[in-house]
Structure 1
Amino acid sequence: MHTKSLGVAALVGLLGFAAIAAGSAQAASEQVGEVSTAFRWVGRNDRVVVEAYDDPKVQGVTCYVSRARTGGVKGTVGLAEDRAEASIACRQVGAVQFSAKLPLQEDVFTERMSVLFKRLHIVRLVDPKRNTLVYLTYSDKLVDGSPQNSVTAVPVPPGSPIPLK
């Protein structure tokens, strides 16, 4: 009897953790809008989606990423593999404040682009000489990544040096 109740408690705890993790993963990006690019008879249309990502360690900087999303039946149920193309524009949207010292290079966001093997990455690079944050987006795949990428930069005001690790 005790073992059964422990198993139920563990399952409830695991489900609660999964719900929290799913909520925090969704909080990492916010869809700003989308446009349809191709009509699909069944399922969602193919589209270009624009999402906003707030840098978790740099308050006041938001990155906007646009990328293609595949529609149809596979896209609607999450089984389609999206194209490896993305564009990024990061902007200062408020006072720049750092919550921690930054490494010279850090993968700040990753998101699944296919069921198993493809991920979208947003990498923050620090250019200390110019006091600038550089953001790069690209996708990788387990076997064959894509060289397609996009880059943008956010200059930090001269009176606020970027704290480095």
Structure 2
Amino acid sequence: MQPLPKITALSFIWAASCTPAIADQVGKVDVDWLGNDLVIEAFADPKVEGVTCHVAYFERGLIDRLQKGDWFEDPSNSSIACRQTGIISLGDIDRSDEGESVFSESRSIVWKSVQVKRIFDEANQTLIYVSHARDVQNGSAKMSISTVPLFKKN
């Protein structure tokens, strides 16, 4: 019987930061003859029942990669739209100013990703979803935002 692998602090942090939201590709739009596409994915917020987000991002084609030589990088640009798609039920969500990651997708082999965070604006009863690039070294101002109001029952 082989011993179990040791759990390091880094692997624990990585596992804890992974989000349970899984996206389904719902569209793919060709944008040029180089094989570049816009990919549209949908995911349900794992802790807020009744909210679905759609994220669109650019995916480089093989010809573009050959032509430019940087094989492993895709741009971090993304767009997001979130809507109520059912009866909204808030689970145990993070209510801090920093919010909580609800979705992440790698955009390069090492460390670069598109992240979606949820922030709860309690005063205005609104969920805010921010899509942004995350990189170890080079922060980016490229982002997109979407809001979902929480209407009170009469």
Give yes or no for TM over 0.5: yes
CA contact (8 A) 2:20 2:46 kept: no
Question: Would you tell me which structure has more helix in proportion to its own residues?
Answer: 1
Q: Which has the larger radius of gyration?
A: 1
Counterpart position of 1:18: none
Alignment length (residue pairs): 136
Counterpart position of 1:31: 25
The one-character-per-residue Cα deviations of 1:81-121 (angstroms, maximum 9, x if unpaired) are 11121110000000001232432311111111100021111
Counterpart position of 2:62: 72
**Structure 1 gap segments, 5+ residues each:** 1-5, 12-20, 161-165
Counterpart position of 2:81: 89
Measured on the aligned residues, the alpha-carbon RMSD in Å equals: 2.7
Secondary structure of the corresponding residue to residue 138 of structure 1: strand
Question: Which of 133, 136, 151 is matched with 1:157 structurally?
Answer: 151
Deviation at 1:61, TM superposition (A): 0.2
Give the distance between the partners of 1:152 and 1:99, measured in 2 at CA.
19
Give the distance between the partners of 1:154 and 1:57, measured in 2 at CA.
14
Counterpart position of 2:114: 120
Structure 1 stretches of 4+ with a deviation exceeding 2 A read 24-27, 101-104
What TM-score, normalized by structure 2, do the two folds share? 0.78
2:92 maps to amino acid = A
Percent identical among aligned pairs is: 32
What TM-score, normalized by structure 1, do the two folds share? 0.73
Deviation at 1:38, TM superposition (A): 2.1
